């Protein structure tokens, strides 16, 4: 889950480049704010697989010396340290900037030739299918304020308040084919919303007194995919992906897969917001409230609401 930073932010204060991102499985997307262009770089080749470093054991002998032999691309694995590269500016007496070379973060590994050669350049381009906006991560102060409780009891929920925003790269989301994802949405927008949701309501049509008993069962977690409730299993992780499945009225099945890195980051965000992890899927709310007396006829309607936080993930085409 990435937050955005304008390029001018780092040009003014280069020391901020060394600051780590907030939370696990996080990073920064640098946006060229002057021209409203987005800069992204992915090491994906034409067959939608990812480049990787070769190792010393992959070297071969040619002309009486050892030569580095690039390994074939393979499916992206965010935990594969051989698929991670360090990009370094390359400066010479004739050139002061704009060129780069790459090294592995491991001492016994070598990036593919087109990355490890010195002096390659990057050209920026803004695809037509997305424009990245500002995503600053969590707004801690706004999150602590909680949504306003100024709506009538006839409302099932309050208006949602966005308290956090990130971007997730398409490689960590299974949503159709990689080819279609690159055409439709190279990034997915992730927001964290807060709202009040009604879990109990009753009316005092016969002047039943001032005591109201609340006894309801509430789901702790649920996932909605394309407007329908989905099923999933946190313990069933295939190739680092957790799958969420929803079913339509005529047997239609929709599957969305999220990298466990994204799911773990979401859970980390919930924990630091005061939502502890639990194996329980439901909790029971059992309490007695005093409704008080309002006017000549006493109270007429009572409602009980709980605070709900939800992550909303959507494509850049708002689907």
pLDDT in tens, 288-305: 887 765 555 567 888 899
Query: Cβ-count burial of 54 within 10 angstroms (0-12 exposed, 13-18 middle, 19+ buried)?
Result: buried
In a domain, 250, yes or no: no
- Which residues constitute the domain of residue 85? 42-121
What is the domain count for the chain? Answer: 2
In a domain, 11, yes or no: no
Rounded average pLDDT over 92-116: 83
Whether residues 190 and 218 share a domain: the answer is yes
* Residues near 317 by beta carbon (within 8 Å), at least 6 away in sequence: 129, 184, 185
Q: Between 177 and 198, where is the model more confident?
A: 198
Determine the pLDDT at residue 37.
45
Whether residues 215 and 278 share a domain: the answer is yes
Rounded average pLDDT over 28-56: 67
Select, from the ranges 33-47, 64-78, 115-129, the one with the highest average predicted confidence (pLDDT): 64-78
Determine the pLDDT at residue 38.
46
Mean pLDDT of the chain: 83
* Domain end marker among 70, 97, 121: 121
Whether residues 201 and 57 share a domain: the answer is no
For 267-281, the pLDDT digits (tens) are 999 999 988 888 788
Which of 64, 46, 47, 66 minimizes the C-alpha distance to 56?
Answer: 66
In a domain, 185, yes or no: yes
| pTM of structure | 0.74
Determine the pLDDT at residue 129.
57
**Cα–Cα dist 33/19, whole Å:** 20
Whether residues 151 and 292 share a domain: the answer is yes
Determine the pLDDT at residue 36.
38
In a domain, 243, yes or no: no
* Domain end marker among 91, 121, 151: 121
Whether residues 189 and 302 share a domain: the answer is yes
Whether residues 48 and 86 share a domain: the answer is yes
Whether residues 102 and 144 share a domain: the answer is no
């Amino acid at each position: 889950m990435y937050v955005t930073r304008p390029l001018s932010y780092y040009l003014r204060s280069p020391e901020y480049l060394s600051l780590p991102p907030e939370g696990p499985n996080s990073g920064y997307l640098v946006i060229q704010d002057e021209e409203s262009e987005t800069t992204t770089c992915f090491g994906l080749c034409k067959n939608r697989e990812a480049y990787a470093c070769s190792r010393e054991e992959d070297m071969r002998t040619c002309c009486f010396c050892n030569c580095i032999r690039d390994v074939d691309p393979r499916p992206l694995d965010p935990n594969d340290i051989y698929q991670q590269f360090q990009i370094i500016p390359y400066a010479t007496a004739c050139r002061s900037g704009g060129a780069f070379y790459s090294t592995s973060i491991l001492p016994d590994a070598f990036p593919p030739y087109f990355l490890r050669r010195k002096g390659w350049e990057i050209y920026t381009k803004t695809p037509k299918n997305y424009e990245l906006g500002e995503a600053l991560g969590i707004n801690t102060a706004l999150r602590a304020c909680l949504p306003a409780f100024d709506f009538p009891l006839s409302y099932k929920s309050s208006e949602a308040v966005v308290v956090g925003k990130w971007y997730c790269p398409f490689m960590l989301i299974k949503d159709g084919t990689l080819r279609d994802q690159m055409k439709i949405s190279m990034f997915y927008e992730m927001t964290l919303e807060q709202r009040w949701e009604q879990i109990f309501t009753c009316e005092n049509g016969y002047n039943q007194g001032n005591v109201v008993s609340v006894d309801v069962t509430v789901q702790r977690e649920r996932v909605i995919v394309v407007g329908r409730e989905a099923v999933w299993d946190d313990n069933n992780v295939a190739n680092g992906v957790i799958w969420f499945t929803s079913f339509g009225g005529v047997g239609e099945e929709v599957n969305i897969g999220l990298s466990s890195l994204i799911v773990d980051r979401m859970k980390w965000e919930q924990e630091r917001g005061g939502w502890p992890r639990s194996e329980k899927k439901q909790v029971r709310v059992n309490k007695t409230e005093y409704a008080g007396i309002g006017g000549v006829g006493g109270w007429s309607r009572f409602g009980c609401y709980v605070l709900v936080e939800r992550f909303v993930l959507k494509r850049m085409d708002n689907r």
